[in-house]
Every structure is written in structure tokens, then in C-alpha cells.
Amino acid sequence: MEVNQMQRSFLEYANVLFREGFLDGQFSQLQMLADESNPDFVVEVVSLFFEDSQKLLNDLTTTLDQQNVNFKKIDAHIHQLKGSSSSIGAQRVKNACIAFRNFCDQQNVEGLSFGSSITFAFLFQLEQQIVAAGGAIPILSEFS
Amino acid sequence: MGIDCSSEELHVLAVDDSLVDRKVIERLLKISCCKVTTVESGRRALQLLGLDGEKSSVEFDELNVNLIMTDYSMPEMTGYELLKKIKGSSKLCKIPVVVMSSEKVMSRIDRCMEEGAEEFLVKPLKLTDVERVIDFILRGGDKNEKKITTSRKRKTMMMHEDFDSSSSQSSSNWEQPYQKRPKIAQN
């Protein structure tokens, strides 16, 4: 009972997320892939995305805190995050990644710190929106 | 969706270092009535295909796959390097390989096509992309048929209303139907 209700309200709320620019057309693609045999597909992928993204951003932060920053590694992390956010249609997160990747080329550590904070904020924001819609995504742990 | 999957099922090996992308492509392929195996690296893929040189353990039977779909940008072994190894192997060279990438770099596309890739798909993948590829493989990879499916794809592209201001990902996979290009001088 609860699952179907959650799915419904989540999917209805997704329209709000589209309008507000949190999500783009790729998210609709994912919605098309859920059916009676796999009703939880969207929730599963989105959960995976949040887990994966949090880990990536944490790794990125750790790398940034090093004495000698490994910019190649950071670029790889951002590339990964950009890719997965693009695959699920998390538009703001994706655009944030595209924007702050430039700081990597410039080897701008402050810019990268700032960029990753913003990206994390967008991520958190998206997750909050989904939880508000009853999407039952696990809460991201505190960003330290 | 009620798709009848009773007819021939292709077995596809999907290679991608991104967990999220593996999940998505697995679903895309299953919806397209394929049996799917996903792995996270080229090395692992070669192991499963029985091409890893080290014939250590035989804990699993070698996979029999009809199609390999691989991400381009992967650590250690790129999709291009994996493609080369597959096409360079007498055992595996007949398996069609499709390369996927979030970055639409023409030199990259050319390189892959010249190395024998069947298709180069730009991420994020859509269901129509996967359906088109499967359709092509099921038809036995007839190059003439490719034109028909590509124009079907263009019609579908026009129905989709997605936009992306970033230059690295355009809303359509390519502006015109991709056909095997003549060898172009590389710099």
C-alpha cells in the first residue's frame, strides 16, 4: 500500500522538480523504465546516485585537503559526478559540475572548494525535495 | 509495459565504471529484452570473455555474448583500449562493440569507428538509443538497414524536448545520421 502511494506522490512531485530546474528530460527517460515488474526502479537509481555522489564529493574534499593537490584525480571525480548526475537527470548538480570543473584546469583550490560545496548543496537540496515528496531516499549524512 | 520478450534474447555485456550508469544501462537493456551482464572495468570484461592471458582460475564459464557496450572513459583501461583488444582477438573480434561516452569528441568517435566499433552513443543514454542498437544487431548488422533505423531515430529525437546549454553534451546524439566515415587524416 505505502509503496504505491509513495511512488505516486513522488512521481507527481517530480513535475515540480522539472519546473524548478532540479531535474531535466533524462529523468523522464528513467521514469519510462519503471513498470509493474520494476516499480521501484527510479527510487533505486536515485538512491544509488545519492550514495555514489556523496562518496565522490567526500573523496574530492579529502583530495583537496592534501598538501599537494592531485588535480587530475579531482578532475576525474568531477567527471564521474557529472556523468552520473547527467544519467539520472539531476540537472543542477550536473551544471554545477560543468561549471566548477574549470577550476581544475586553473588549479584553483579555493574555487574547487567552493564549487564542491555548492554542488553538495544542490545534491542535498534535490534529496530533500525527493524526501518531501515521499520518495523515501535515505538522508545524506552530515557534510563535514 | 507488457513487451513480449519470448523471441530471441541477446546477451549483452555492459562495461562501465559508474555504478549509476551500470544500473541504468542494465534496465535499458532488460526492457529491450536482453540478457545483461555488467562489469566495472575492461580488465574484468576481458576476464569474463576469457581473454585475460592469465588462465588462473576457471571459476566461471566464459561468457557468450552477442554485443558489448562499453563506456569510453574508464580508469586503467579505456573503452577504446578494450575495443582494440576485442577486435584484435581472433576469438572475440566478431562480437559487435558499441562505445558510449558523455563527451562528443569527433576525433574520439572517428578513432573508435575506425577500430571497428559498430556505434558510438552519446550519454546520457535513452531507451531509443538502446532499442536502435539492439534492432541493428538483431537484423544481423546490415549496414543498409542502418539508414532506416537512423531516420527513425531522428523522428524520435525531434519528439524529445530536452536541451542542454553545455557544449559537451548536445541534446541530440549527432546532427546528422552517422555513417561509417572514410579514413580521415589524423593529426
**pLDDT tens profile B57-108:** 555 567 789 999 999 999 999 999 999 999 999 999 999 999 999 999 999 9
pLDDT of B164 higher than 60: no
Q: What's the confidence (pLDDT) of residue A28?
A: 87
CB contact, 8 Å: A79 with chain B?
Answer: yes
Q: Would the pLDDT of B171 be above 70?
A: no
Q: What is the pLDDT of residue A87?
A: 96
pLDDT at A110 over 50: yes
What is the C-alpha to C-alpha distance for residues B21 and A3, in angstroms, rounded to an integer?
A: 25
Confidence of residue A10 (pLDDT cuts 50, 70, 90): low
Question: Per-residue pLDDT tens for A77-93?
Answer: 999 999 999 999 999 99
Nearest by CB to A84, which of B18, B160, B164?
Answer: B18
Q: What is the CATH number of domain A3-143?
A: 1.20.120.160
pLDDT in tens, A48-78: 999 999 999 999 999 999 989 999 999 999 9
Sign of CA dihedral B28, A89, B119, A79: negative
Determine, for residues A48 and B126 on separate chains, whether the beta-carbon distance falls below 8 Å. Answer: no
For a pLDDT cut of 90, what percent of chain A falls above it?
A: 37
Query: Least CA distance to B169: which residue of chain A?
Result: A86
- For residue A36, the model assigns a pLDDT of 83
- Tell whether A99 lies on the interface with B, counting CB pairs under 8 A: no
Cα dihedral B59/B64/B65/B68 (nearest 10):
40
Residue B39's pLDDT is what? 97
Give the model's pLDDT for residue B45: 96
Q: What are the backbone angles phi and psi of residue A30, rounded to the nearest 5°?
A: -65, -40
Residue of A nearest to B3 (CA): A35
Cβ-based neighbours of A73, under 8 Å, separated by 6 or more: A63
- Strand B119-122 relative to strand B10-15: parallel, antiparallel, unpaired? unpaired
Residues of A numbered 28-47 whose beta carbons fall under 8 angstroms of chain B's beta carbons: which are they?
29-30, 32-33, 35, 38, 41, 44-45
For cell 584525480, name the residue: A73
pLDDT band at B24 (very low <50, low <70, confident <90, very high): very high
Closest C-alpha to A17, from A121, A89, A81: A89
pLDDT > 70? residue B41: yes
> A72, A74, A84, A92: which to substitute to probe chain B, counting the most B Cβ within 10 Å?
A84
Q: Which member of A30, A35, A87 has the closest CB to residue B123?
A: A87
Q: Residue B123: list chain A partners with CB under 8 A.
A: 83, 86-87
